[in-house]
Structure 1
Amino acid sequence: MIKLESLVEDCDISTQEGIEEACRRIASREKDVDSRLEEILSQQCQLEGKMRNIGLALAGLGVVGDKTRNLSTQIDHTSQLAEKVSAKVRRLDEARSRVSECQQRVHDLIDLQLCSQGVITAIKEEDFEKGAVHVNRFLAMDKNLLQKTADDVSGSITSVSKAVSTLEQAATQIRQV
């Protein structure tokens, strides 16, 4: 802010000309101040508009923040559900594998019984080619797995052992022929 003394300090205000010069300077300064004031006031509308836009943007940011938190919560929930589903799928896969293994073991036991009965019938009928086919099927089987299956199924150890024994004897007989 400019003080009045600084405007008139080099004017001789004791004379008419000095007073007029001081008045001109004051009027000029007043004109400059009025001009600057009008400039500032003309920018007031622009500033108010910008402030209004900033207020709206801040309100929008609040909404965005709320929506972001909601989305984050939903993503967390979805992630937890996906983990639970994944764990259940893994358990189902394990169960499916066990069922498949069990089915294969049952199939092997049935195949063993069929081979045993087939070789007995073939030997009785003296159809050694048919007996050899049954013996070859038996020899292709995993005997350890058959025994493990028999051990797992109570009461079938003797029938599996009997079938294995029958097929081993038949293999010996067919080799002799």
Structure 2
Amino acid sequence: MDTIILMTLVVIAILIILIIKEYNKIIKLQNKVKSSESGIDIYLNQRFDLIPNLVECVKGYAKHEKQLLENITKQRTEYAKNQNLKKAGELNKSLNKVIAIAENYPELKASEQFISLQNNLVKMESQLQAARRIYNTDVQRYNSAIQTVPSNIVAGIFGFKEKEFFQIEEYKKENIKIDGENM
């Protein structure tokens, strides 16, 4: 009888150790995703901090685009208050519209301030792409961990949920329409 109790206690102890090990593995992966997400936020904030300068630069040339410029300023403020990937996508879409508008103004495209802002945006985009790749890799590892045995059992017990990939390209793939209705 003592052997059965001892073996039961050993099995329970092994199960507890395995659960703790898997839980800690998931927590480490989750923390890595959070860290990668903060890297994306840093680059998005830096990129979006350029928006007021871009808006001011474009304002002088594109007076009839006032609604779009006000809209992008409003979206930037909303993103600053409530940073999430959907808001970032909407803001990127508007930012792309402003850049497309600038293409219609040769004097604006030639201004040193606009060229500098455009170069900074390209630099930020490159850094954002790198951060996005890191984040998506971390999300893929985390999601794979919580979907495979035995981690999926622990993930189910403790309520770990899948993370979403960061796909800003969806907004870039859309055709940019510049007309009075979209502004």
Same-fold status (TM-score > 0.5): no
Higher relative contact order (CA 8 A, sep 6+): 2
Q: Which TM-score tier does this pair reach, normalised by the shorter chain? A: 0.3 to 0.5
Task: Choose 1 or 2 for highest CA Rg.
Answer: 1
TM-score, normalised via structure 1 length: 0.36
Looking at secondary structure, tell me which structure has more helix per residue: 1
